[in-house]
Amino acid sequence: MTITKKVLMLPGDGIGPEVMRQVQRVMDWMAKKRDINFDVTEGLIGGASIDAHNNPLTDETLADAMAADAVLLGAVGGPKWDNIPFDIKPERGLLKIRKEMGLFANLRPALVFDALVGASTLKEDVVKGLNIMILRELTGGIYFGQPRGVEERDGVRFGFNTLVYSEPEIERIARVAFDMAMKRNKRMCSVDKANVLESTVLWREVVERVAKEFPEVELSHMYVDNASMQLVRNPKQFDVMVTTNMFGDILSDCAAMLTGSLGMLPSASLGAADETGARKALYEPVHGSAPDIAGQDLANPLATLLSFAMMLRYSFDMGDDATMIETAVQNVLKGGLRTADIMQPGMAKVSTTVMGEAVINELNKLV
């Protein structure tokens, strides 16, 4: 039976629209070859929305996001919007959609494809076969804590933010992380700064408590400074890592660079499951809007295609189709095609469009 899923596409800025077009092609392919149809709506976010509405995320777009089965986002931001007021910067749109949709669990896999092992700045044996899942808390912590701001007190200006976590906030992200660990290798490292920050003393305590429900998972704790060092020293010691919003922001960039190819990494942001088990969800590549190469058909569409694969797996329970797309991507890389960002000697440099086409050709072979 063919199912229909409502997907909101938010291409955003810079290379967002062009990488998104390659996903649209895969969706069209799936509608022809697989038991699924996509009812696609497009919306504006970030700079594109600022240009049209003077607002990085309008209520209409937010309502569309809430009504969709899943949201796929390209990228936001660019130098054009660097000097506008903080409150309407493109990034505010991204933070708002995460918060309003309740997307507290951010899954950031860092996976080294065999064909790209040479792209890492680290030695091959350190990263070959690397497969880490970083679970970043996404709607709390210092990104959203109150009070915040810049104000003058007795003639001196102060900038301040608040790092705050409630027990329920910690508990729910811990649960997602343990569930993930159970589906993977049953190892999980929780990253905090419990030697200095009370909010993460509570973090550690709550993670310990939730751990009792998952006796099979081997849990460890690490301070964030050590974790960043260990990620570079010996990343394969990690499987699932769970951490706060800001530590996750930093560690996930670090983990991304282990793979040597930011242009390859997808992410998923999930909300709480409702009675039917469905979750609000948004999928996006980890890379930014890359304004310097936008509109030139140079960008790597693979991270966005892999984000779409995550959508199939986590929102639509279509793990086989997700695996098929991931395999297609691997095969294209094995075949020697590279976009500029992952170009290596002896390989064939191709455009965004040709890369998308190559994935479809592989899908045709795999189906």
Task: State the catalytic residues.
Answer: 143, 193, 225, 249, 253
Residue among 97, 133, 115, 112 nearest 283 (CA): 97
* Closer CB to ligand IPM, 217 or 306, in the complex: 306
> Given the rule CB under 6 A, which of 9-17, 91-99, 174-182, 196-204 is the region that contacts ligand IPM?
91-99
**Partner that binds at residue 91, options ligand IPM, Mg ion, none, CB closer than 5 to 8 Å by kind:** ligand IPM
Q: Is 68 in the site for ligand IPM (CB under 6 A)?
A: no
Of the candidates 19, 23, 30, 94, which one interacts with ligand IPM according to CB under 6 A?
94
Q: Is 91 in the site for ligand IPM (CB under 6 A)?
A: yes
State the pairing for strand pair 149-153/266-273: unpaired
Distance from CA of residue 350 to its chain's centroid? 25
Residue among 19, 18, 8, 26 nearest 326 (CA): 26
Q: Write the CA distances from 237 to 126, 197, 233, integer angstroms.
A: 10, 25, 10
* Closer CB to ligand IPM, 75 or 206, in the complex: 75
Q: Which ranges in 54-156 belong to alpha helices (H)?
A: 59-67, 90-100, 124-127
Of the candidates 100, 249, 297, 357, which one interacts with ligand IPM according to CB under 6 A?
249
Q: What is the DSSP letter of 55?
A: S
Residue carrying the six token digits 């860092």: 110
* Closer CB to ligand IPM, 27 or 224, in the complex: 224
* Closer CB to ligand IPM, 108 or 193, in the complex: 108
Cis peptide before 147 (omega within 30 of 0): yes
Q: Write the CA distances from 10 to 14, 48, 65, 93, 358, integer angstroms.
A: 12, 10, 9, 11, 24
Q: Is 218 in the site for ligand IPM (CB under 6 A)?
A: no
Q: Determine the Cα–Cα distance for residues 261 and 342; give it in Å rounded to an integer.
A: 6
**Site for ligand IPM (CB under 6 A): how many residues?**
4
Of the candidates 171, 249, 297, 357, which one interacts with Mg ion according to CB under 5 A?
249
Smallest distance from ligand IPM to CB 95, Å: 6
66 backbone dihedrals φ, ψ, rounded to 5°: -65, -30
**Partner that binds at residue 134, options Mg ion, ligand IPM, none, CB closer than 5 to 8 Å by kind:** none
SS3 call for 15: coil
Residue carrying the six token digits 């509570």: 202
Q: Are 308 and 19 in contact (CB under 8 A)?
A: no
**Partner that binds at residue 292, options ligand IPM, Mg ion, none, CB closer than 5 to 8 Å by kind:** none
- 273-332 residues in contact with ligand IPM (CB under 6 A) are none
* Closer CB to Mg ion, 14 or 356, in the complex: 14
> Given the rule CB under 5 A, which of 25-33, 77-85, 146-154, 247-255 is the region that contacts Mg ion?
247-255
Q: Point out which residues bind ligand IPM (CB under 6 A).
A: 91, 94-95, 249
Interface ranges with Mg ion (CB under 5 A)? 249
